[in-house]
Structure 1
Amino acid sequence: MGVNINIPAFEATPLDDIAHIAATARSSFQSQKTKDVEWRLVQLRKLYWGLTDYTEKFQAALKKDLNKPPHDAILSEIHHLIQDLNLTLKKLKDWVKDDKDIDYPWTFSAMKPRVRKEPLGAVLVIGAYNVPLMLSLAPFIGAMAAGCTAVLKPSENAPATAMVMKEMVEKYLDPSSFFVINGAIPESTALLNEKWAKIFYTGNNTVARIVSKKAAETLTPVTLELGGRNPSFVSKSADVALAARRLLWGKTMNAGQICLSQNYVLVEREVVDDFIKYLKATYHEFYPTGAQSSEDYARIINERQFDRIKKMLDTTKGKIVLGGETDRSDLYISPTVVLLDSPDDPMMAEESFGPIWSILPYDNLEDAINTANSVDPTPLSLMTFGSKSENQKILGRVTSGGASINDAWMHGGIATLPFGGVGESGTGSYHGRASFDCFTHRRTVVEVPGWMDKLLRVRYAPLDATELKRHLWMTGSKPGFDRDGKVLSGPSYWLWLVFGLGGPSAKGALLRWMVLFASAYGAFFQWKKYQS
């Protein structure tokens, strides 16, 4: 990486410009140009080259904002986006096609029912500071692919990355369709005062409530990607050394500022000592001279977040079994593990969103599951290390946005798989095809030919009871179960299903088959006449 890379000084977008930018984005969408799939593909290809050409500059910006190692900048941000782009470029022409593989009564086949994919309009994307490039541009890619115009508001807490993103977007993408607005609360407020087709927000629950409340005023749909007090489970059936290694990785990457990483680990009491021993051994393997002196360890984003995390350590009643070192002048908090006696400890009161986490011993899995469900019923992430039956039981009993078995948050590391929360951890999903769907309206379309009017007689006045019966018979179906919920089977079921035998309509079943055939026969000749 080059050493003399110029990072622009952070500069907020003038408040007076925001309304004009929003209006331009709406006008650009209304021009219809973004609906052209080839136009979208060109823009996505340009973004690909923008990310490629700006790789070193983004590495430098992320180093400046978070002390993020250049290696991690590639792995967790740039390469992730490149993978997402590659899939989108490869599949977009298929994604935009009308969906004809849908379910409907066969009597409507002549109407050619289908679902058309249409962009929502001008959208707003609000990014987060912890993975500031990927969490901003991944939804942005989805908006572009769907045919929306988009305004991106990066986090002001990662100012260097925000400014480089603005520079890249303005250099490579259509200037009337895609924008980056920088700033803090005033700029965000001005953006929320505008009307959007959708708002995509990544961040915390407090701001999410503000965004949702504001969006509700104009019935604007929102996608929320939040966090949670994510649990992990380690049983005596697990490879405890491997669990320690993978969980320590998951909590040291980006200095633990990963919304998916574990907040606490429920460890079967019998292997707690071994688990701690392996954690210590892994720490010394990862950072032989300590994390603070390592070029591979990031820093806390700012003093406010540092103070919040340190307060959790200062007030805990638990025992620090790994780490505990802090340096406010360096925004450094070492990877720290605290052994707790109770889930009511201050360490468990909120999401740590940093390199600190807790161990809660358990004696039986049922108690551990109950603890997880009481701490946070809808976390963003779940990790479990145990036997196959234990893992499946945990997966079935503990709700989460996503889950990894035998690893730390790997489900969120695959760029093309859907990613999203549930309940308090968010709503909606994105990445890969899910990003396209996130900004797409599924519009049902039918074409009703003139020759079908005979078959549609049922809807016209004067209303006719016989026509209604015929219509219900033609478009309905019989259940494959009785009144007790028991599934029917055997020859009698097939006679009952096809001819209505044994049912209240058995008397007229054969007659209705004849009427149906006659109607279809008549409709065919109407169609022939219509065609000529």
Structure 2
Amino acid sequence: MTSDIKIPAFEATPLDSIPKIAASARSSYASQKTKDVEWRLVQLRKLWWGLTDYTEKLQAALKQDLNKPGHDALLSEINYTISDLNNTIKKLKAWAKDDTNLDYPLTFTALKPRLRKEPLGTALIIGPYNFPLMLNICPLIGAISAGCTAVIKPSESAPATAMVMKEMIEKYLDPTAFSVVNGMIPETAALLNEKWAKIFYTGGLTVAKIVARKAAETLTPVTLELGGRNPAFVSRSSDLALAARRLMWGKTLNAGQVCMSHNYVLVERDVVDDFIKCINATYKEFFPQGCQASPDYARVVNERQWDRMKKMLDTTKGRIVMGGELDRADRFISPTAVLVDSVDDPMMAEESFGPIWAILPYDDLDEAIKTMNTVDPTPLSLMTFGSKAENEQIINQVTSGGASINDSFMHGCVSTLPFGGVGESGTGSYHGKAGFDCFTHQRTMVTTPGWMDKLLRVRYLPHSPGDFKQFQWMNAAKPDFDRDGRKTSGSGLGYWLWMVLGLGGPSVKGALARWLLVLVGAWGAMTQYHKFSS
């Protein structure tokens, strides 16, 4: 039983040890051992065993921090993370290989262009409280797979999970390469004073700006995973009962403390009453014995967040049409829907990041799209329940980090697909190969054969007009568009010779052009050979 598992009391990392921890991670990277793909795979496999062996302890920690049900802890945190890890272990060797399937002009073929995947170096990962395991460990999977070392700073608002993660990582991973620093603002500030090759931050906009400003001082690249006032759209064309059920799931998982969950739902005015009936029916279905008594419902992480959401409910001019039960001592807020009539309502003006959300009626699709683009032009998530034409128009005209059609943030549930925001909802992405790429530098490399100097004559002094003319002939591309930018179709013998020779565009590589390059290269090689033999 998870209730019998003892969780270590939260303990901040001594401030004077933080520079040493960062230096150890940098030194470990400098040893070159992390560039060995087999070394990375060993660390990832050990992490797999750590997550497996610590499953019950992690469930107990998540229960203590967020009253997260064991079912949800497995489904949305532990198993999700292991799924990302399994995929990475399986595909890492392929990801880490030099990429030679590149697009470049035919004239550069002999250089054998390639992209080498190089780790960025030592990374700092700063995680949030809402999914304190998954949102710390999944970035770590990306860092390990890329060949980086890393220091993790979990949120102090989920102290039990932070301590269990520290224990697990120190037990299973290379302690010189990977560490956990616990603490609050002073410890985070001390970490930001260190030099990193990459900073990965998940959290809110205010702290993100502090992290980005600090990183800019040393030109450190940053990935920011934030949130937003995510919109959902429901039209008369949708299955209202299904939309209600799926949107309710999005606000009951982790008590709505999900960066992708909807902040408001735009509902076509004619079906607002029916939609409200559907969400109340779903509420009763989900909580037959009452929400607060349910063993399947989490709690708000702390009193500060509870007070913030209570203020939104106290100041709204709207009407509560579902839920509304509150208990500060239990950090409990039931899933609560508020019918509002203005985008300026407090329920619309702030990201709830909890189980409360607004319903705003709309009259036509263009109006709904205008509202979405006004409230938050770059949310992390977009959900739309409408006809095929309505969904397509919304997807085309509303920007978001990700989008789900006919569901609530299902796009973020596929652990192998890129996940990330845009604009104020973040920058960069991770999970699966995107996690590997997040901590990787793609290094362009070529190898120039000695025999190519004849072909490269154009770059040497003294400059020759004749050589430059030949260079232009070899690399020119005749446009297939006119001066007004309109596509044109070629005709005539000259045009077809141009295309056959492979000079009509970068994607056309004619057989004669290939033979020409081979013959010139062979002639150059023979010239070099005779020169050195004589």
1:31 is aligned to 2:31: yes
DSSP 3-state at the match of 1:341 = coil
Query: What is the match of residue 507 of structure 1?
Result: none
The answer on whether the counterparts of 2:480 and 2:490 sit within 8 Å (CA) in structure 1 is no
Alpha-carbon distance between aligned partners in 2 of 1:267 and 1:83, rounded to the nearest angstrom: 35
Query: What is the match of residue 421 of structure 2?
Result: 421
Cα 1:499–1:330 shift into 2, 3 Å: closer
Matches within 5 A, 1:422-437: 422-437=422-437
The answer on whether the counterparts of 1:117 and 1:442 sit within 8 Å (CA) in structure 2 is yes
Alpha-carbon distance between aligned partners in 2 of 1:386 and 1:494, rounded to the nearest angstrom: 49
Alpha-carbon distance between aligned partners in 2 of 1:501 and 1:168, rounded to the nearest angstrom: 59
DSSP 3-state at the match of 1:46 = helix
Alpha-carbon distance between aligned partners in 1 of 2:450 and 2:321, rounded to the nearest angstrom: 78
Matches within 5 A, 1:149-228: 149-228=149-228
Alpha-carbon distance between aligned partners in 2 of 1:65 and 1:25, rounded to the nearest angstrom: 29
1:522 is aligned to 2:520: no
Structure 1 residue 491 displacement after superposition: 3.3
Structure 1 residue 464 displacement after superposition: 1.3
Question: CA offsets per residue over residues 328-350 of structure 1, 9 Å max, x none?
Answer: 10000111000011111011111
Structure 1 alignment gaps of length 5 or more: 503-511
Alpha-carbon distance between aligned partners in 2 of 1:211 and 1:234, rounded to the nearest angstrom: 37
Which amino acid letter does the alignment assign opposite residue 339 of structure 2? L
Alpha-carbon distance between aligned partners in 2 of 1:430 and 1:186, rounded to the nearest angstrom: 28
DSSP 3-state at the match of 1:183 = coil
The answer on whether the counterparts of 2:382 and 2:409 sit within 8 Å (CA) in structure 1 is yes
Query: What is the match of residue 323 of structure 1?
Result: 323
Structure 1 residue 3 displacement after superposition: 3.2
DSSP 3-state at the match of 2:255 = helix
Q: Identify which range, 135-144 or 486-495, moves more after superposition.
A: 486-495
Structure 1 residue 496 displacement after superposition: 4.9
DSSP 3-state at the match of 1:491 = coil
Query: What is the match of residue 248 of structure 2?
Result: 248
Query: What is the match of residue 453 of structure 1?
Result: 453
Cα 1:484–1:498 shift into 2, 3 Å: farther
Query: What is the match of residue 80 of structure 1?
Result: 80
Question: CA offsets per residue over residues 350-372 of structure 1, 9 Å max, x none?
Answer: 10000000000011010000000
The answer on whether the counterparts of 1:35 and 1:119 sit within 8 Å (CA) in structure 2 is yes
The answer on whether the counterparts of 1:116 and 1:443 sit within 8 Å (CA) in structure 2 is yes
Query: What is the match of residue 506 of structure 1?
Result: none
Which amino acid letter does the alignment assign opposite residue 283 of structure 1? Y
Cα 1:146–1:526 shift into 2, 3 Å: farther
Query: What is the match of residue 371 of structure 2?
Result: 371
Which amino acid letter does the alignment assign opposite residue 304 of structure 1? R
Alpha-carbon distance between aligned partners in 2 of 1:220 and 1:112, rounded to the nearest angstrom: 31
1:485 is aligned to 2:485: yes
DSSP 3-state at the match of 2:300 = coil
1:119 is aligned to 2:119: yes
Alpha-carbon distance between aligned partners in 2 of 1:529 and 1:285, rounded to the nearest angstrom: 87
DSSP 3-state at the match of 1:307 = helix
DSSP 3-state at the match of 2:436 = helix
Which amino acid letter does the alignment assign opposite residue 104 of structure 2? Y
Alpha-carbon distance between aligned partners in 2 of 1:500 and 1:239, rounded to the nearest angstrom: 54
Query: What is the match of residue 342 of structure 1?
Result: 342
Matches within 5 A, 1:138-153: 138-153=138-153
Alpha-carbon distance between aligned partners in 2 of 1:514 and 1:76, rounded to the nearest angstrom: 57
The answer on whether the counterparts of 2:476 and 2:503 sit within 8 Å (CA) in structure 1 is no
Alpha-carbon distance between aligned partners in 2 of 1:173 and 1:88, rounded to the nearest angstrom: 16
Alpha-carbon distance between aligned partners in 1 of 2:528 and 2:482, rounded to the nearest angstrom: 40
Query: What is the match of residue 404 of structure 1?
Result: 404
Alpha-carbon distance between aligned partners in 1 of 2:240 and 2:314, rounded to the nearest angstrom: 29
Question: CA offsets per residue over residues 150-195 of structure 1, 9 Å max, x none?
Answer: 0000000000000000000000000100000000000000000000
Structure 1 residue 434 displacement after superposition: 0.3
Structure 1 residue 473 displacement after superposition: 2.0
1:468 is aligned to 2:468: yes
Question: CA offsets per residue over residues 255-274 of structure 1, 9 Å max, x none?
Answer: 01000000000000111111
Alpha-carbon distance between aligned partners in 1 of 2:83 and 2:277, rounded to the nearest angstrom: 37
Structure 1 residue 499 displacement after superposition: 7.2
The answer on whether the counterparts of 1:478 and 1:497 sit within 8 Å (CA) in structure 2 is no
Which amino acid letter does the alignment assign opposite residue 522 of structure 1? W
Which amino acid letter does the alignment assign opposite residue 523 of structure 2? G
DSSP 3-state at the match of 1:420 = coil
Identity, in percent, stands at 71
Alpha-carbon distance between aligned partners in 2 of 1:347 and 1:501, rounded to the nearest angstrom: 60
The answer on whether the counterparts of 2:475 and 2:503 sit within 8 Å (CA) in structure 1 is no
Alpha-carbon distance between aligned partners in 1 of 2:477 and 2:514, rounded to the nearest angstrom: 14
Alpha-carbon distance between aligned partners in 2 of 1:271 and 1:466, rounded to the nearest angstrom: 75
1:301 is aligned to 2:301: yes
The answer on whether the counterparts of 1:451 and 1:530 sit within 8 Å (CA) in structure 2 is no
The answer on whether the counterparts of 1:238 and 1:386 sit within 8 Å (CA) in structure 2 is yes
Structure 1 residue 488 displacement after superposition: 2.6
Which amino acid letter does the alignment assign opposite residue 376 of structure 1? D
Structure 1 residue 290 displacement after superposition: 1.3
The answer on whether the counterparts of 1:474 and 1:516 sit within 8 Å (CA) in structure 2 is no
Alpha-carbon distance between aligned partners in 1 of 2:527 and 2:140, rounded to the nearest angstrom: 50
**Correspondent of 2:496 among 473, 486, 494:** 494
Question: CA offsets per residue over residues 379-427 of structure 1, 9 Å max, x none?
Answer: 0000000111110000000000000000000000111110000000000
Which amino acid letter does the alignment assign opposite residue 268 of structure 2? E
Alpha-carbon distance between aligned partners in 1 of 2:194 and 2:227, rounded to the nearest angstrom: 26
Query: What is the match of residue 508 of structure 1?
Result: none
The answer on whether the counterparts of 1:143 and 1:435 sit within 8 Å (CA) in structure 2 is yes
The answer on whether the counterparts of 2:319 and 2:339 sit within 8 Å (CA) in structure 1 is yes
Query: What is the match of residue 44 of structure 1?
Result: 44
Structure 1 residue 92 displacement after superposition: 0.3
Alpha-carbon distance between aligned partners in 2 of 1:77 and 1:516, rounded to the nearest angstrom: 55
Alpha-carbon distance between aligned partners in 1 of 2:26 and 2:237, rounded to the nearest angstrom: 56
The answer on whether the counterparts of 1:303 and 1:328 sit within 8 Å (CA) in structure 2 is yes
Alpha-carbon distance between aligned partners in 2 of 1:527 and 1:382, rounded to the nearest angstrom: 62
Question: How big is the alpha-carbon RMSD for the aligned residues of Structure 1 and Structure 2?
Answer: 1.9
Which amino acid letter does the alignment assign opposite residue 46 of structure 2? K
Structure 1 residue 489 displacement after superposition: 2.1
Cα 1:466–1:147 shift into 2, 3 Å: same
Query: What is the match of residue 441 of structure 1?
Result: 441
Query: What is the match of residue 134 of structure 1?
Result: 134
Which amino acid letter does the alignment assign opposite residue 327 of structure 1? D
DSSP 3-state at the match of 1:267 = strand
Which amino acid letter does the alignment assign opposite residue 198 of structure 2? K
Cα 1:169–1:516 shift into 2, 3 Å: closer
Alpha-carbon distance between aligned partners in 1 of 2:15 and 2:419, rounded to the nearest angstrom: 33
Question: CA offsets per residue over residues 230-281 of structure 1, 9 Å max, x none?
Answer: 0000000000100000000101110010000000000001111111001000
DSSP 3-state at the match of 2:117 = strand
Query: What is the match of residue 5 of structure 1?
Result: 5
Matches within 5 A, 1:283-302: 283-302=283-302
Q: Normalising to structure 2: TM-score of the pair?
A: 0.95
Structure 1 residue 483 displacement after superposition: 1.8
Structure 2 alignment gaps of length 5 or more: 505-512
Moved over 6 A (4+): 499-502, 512-518
Q: Identify which range, 489-498 or 176-185, moves more after superposition.
A: 489-498
Query: What is the match of residue 311 of structure 1?
Result: 311
The answer on whether the counterparts of 2:156 and 2:182 sit within 8 Å (CA) in structure 1 is yes
